[in-house]
């Protein structure tokens, strides 16, 4: 079963081997959701009529759509085609998803504070000390584990997209708030994107 998203009556299909990499699939869906959000915002507009994208709303939309894709069973159906010994359709990944979101929100919270500190003064030179301080405070990770687990690996976002982590933090907070108002059980696969988009746009 490929992962299917219907946009304006046209299927966009992705066949993803998620068995070996849950987190890779998570980020694929987050990225795809952002593309869908941008397309929806730019629909029926010329280049000059397009407005700047609200990053808070885009990240919030992406998080909610990705959570729905996991919790609704779409990802489990993809997993089933790669599993020989047991029926992956019966696997509940809600616990994994909650832990994953908690880890990511803590990471982006530490990263956003790090970005604010190093960009808030022209005299900052102790980048490593500031990063370690924020990781210990928000991620609750010991110093020795930071370097053992390539703690610097995700810091490329500082160069590529300064302050992007702040929008991630806002996205996690807003998605938690909005998800309480959404009746996920009654969302239909072909219209859930539009429904979530309309809810997020009311922020």
* pLDDT for the residue numbered 188: 75
Sequence ranges of the domains in the chain: 3-201
170-185 pLDDT, tens digit per residue, is 888 889 889 888 887 7
- Count the alpha carbons within 13 Å of 147 in the hemisphere toward its beta carbon: 5
Give the CA angle between residues 24, 30, 33 to the nearest 5°: 140
* pLDDT for the residue numbered 187: 76
pLDDT by residue for the chain (203 residues), tens only, comes to 334 444 455 544 444 444 445 667 788 888 889 888 988 888 877 766 777 788 899 999 999 998 888 777 666 666 565 555 444 444 556 666 777 777 778 878 888 888 888 777 777 777 778 877 887 777 766 655 555 444 444 444 444 455 677 788 888 888 988 988 888 777 776 778 888 888 899 88
């Amino acid at each position: 079963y490929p992962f299917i998203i219907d946009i304006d009556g046209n299927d966009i299909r992705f066949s993803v081997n998620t068995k070996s990499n849950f987190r890779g699939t998570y980020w694929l869906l987050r990225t795809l959701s952002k593309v869908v959000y941008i397309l929806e915002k730019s629909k029926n507009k010329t280049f000059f009529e397009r407005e700047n994208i609200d990053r808070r709303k885009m990240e919030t939309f992406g998080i909610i759509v990705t959570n729905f894709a996991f919790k609704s069973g779409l990802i489990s159906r993809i997993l089933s085609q790669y599993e020989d010994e047991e029926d992956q359709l019966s696997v509940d990944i809600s616990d994994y998803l909650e832990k994953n979101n908690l880890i990511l929100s803590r990471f982006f919270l530490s990263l956003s504070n790090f970005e604010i500190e190093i960009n808030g003064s022209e005299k900052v030179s102790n980048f490593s000390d500031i990063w370690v301080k924020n990781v210990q405070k928000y991620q609750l990770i010991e110093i020795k584990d930071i370097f053992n687990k390539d703690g610097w690996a995700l810091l490329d976002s500082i160069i590529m997209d300064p302050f992007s982590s702040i929008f991630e933090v806002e996205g996690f907070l807003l998605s938690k708030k909005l998800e309480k108002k959404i009746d996920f059980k009654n969302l239909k696969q072909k219209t859930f994107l539009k429904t979530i988009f309309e809810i997020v746009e009311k922020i």
